[in-house]
Amino acid sequence: MKLRHHEDIRTLAFVGIYFFLVVAQWFDWITFGGSLVILPVLTCVFSFFGAVITHNTVHSPVFESARINRMFQVVLSLTYGSAVSAFVPGHNLSHHRYMQGAKDVMRTTKVRHRWNLLNLFEFAPRVAVSIIKNDLRFVDQMKRRRSPWFRQYMMESWAVILVTAVLLVLDWQKALLVWLIPHIYAAWGIITINYLQHDGCDPDHPYNHSRNFVGRTVNWWTFNNGLHGVHHNNPGLHWSRARQEHERLMVPHMDPRLNEASLVLYLLRAFIWPGIRTHYDGTEIPLPPRVADESWVPENINSAQDMGAVGT
């Protein structure tokens, strides 16, 4: 079980903390005052971290062994309630290849309000519908091709379905609190962060296509997920090298206004006051005409693997 990068000890620790939180609440191991609020909130947060780890895993596998990576994907699928392999069609093959275009099912122009808080509320549910439709088309294609990706996807999906079903039968109320709600939060969070990282940016520019949140604290907890531009320019780059490469490859060429020092201050400015949707330079965003999603077809059966997916 050799790691490809020793920094992924933190990855494994976060996954372990998530499962400890779930088990501790299920068996009432922790009963200090306020635990009924604090522990579910922490579980939501670590379920979101599981989604971030999933994102990292489909770009840069954790272990040297392909077999162990496939097993890890099954375990990781349980941290945020969806098959890890499902990241491939919506994120790797749609968003990365066709960023902000009609073939990007996660493009931010799907929401079109001037008051940005409305966009924040609407983005995740609207995009989730597109992601599900896109995923189903891709799954059908991979099934027809008898792809190894499909077998891995089904193994991960059935693991989530069976564990969820067992927990609901045993205690549906507890399952809702410690299992389903954190998974819903994780899905909402990993979709919504896409809006923060791309809305108001320039998808046609080689460096100004993404917004970066460069604070060291938020990036420690989120595995440098805030350093998003360098990730798009080099999707296979391991998260532990993101800051070094961001400063070397992005900072000299990008508009400095796309380096946000504080995630909290950005959220306040973008969604509370003044809360008006703008381009990163402060000008009004010229939204393109509304267009329907355009389908895309992988060029060959190895497309998912070529984008860094494990278990294909």
Confidence band for 34, pLDDT divided at 50, 70 and 90: low
CB-based contact 259:252 (threshold 8 Å) = no
Structure tokens at 268: 């306040």
The rounded distance, in Å, linking the Cα atoms of 269 and 277 is: 10
β-strands 212-213, 259-260 pairing: parallel
- Residue-range domain boundaries for the chain: 6-292
Summarize the chain as % helix, strand, coil (round to 5). Answer: 65, 5, 35
**pLDDT at residue 167 greater than cutoff 50:** yes
φ and ψ of 259, to 5 deg: -105, 100
**pLDDT at residue 161 greater than cutoff 70:** yes
Taking only the tens place, the pLDDT of each residue in 255-285 is 999 999 999 999 999 999 999 999 999 998 8
What are the distances in angstroms from CA 303 to CA 41, 91, 245, 300? 38, 13, 26, 6
Confidence band for 33, pLDDT divided at 50, 70 and 90: low
Q: Alpha-carbon Rg of the chain, whole angstroms?
A: 19
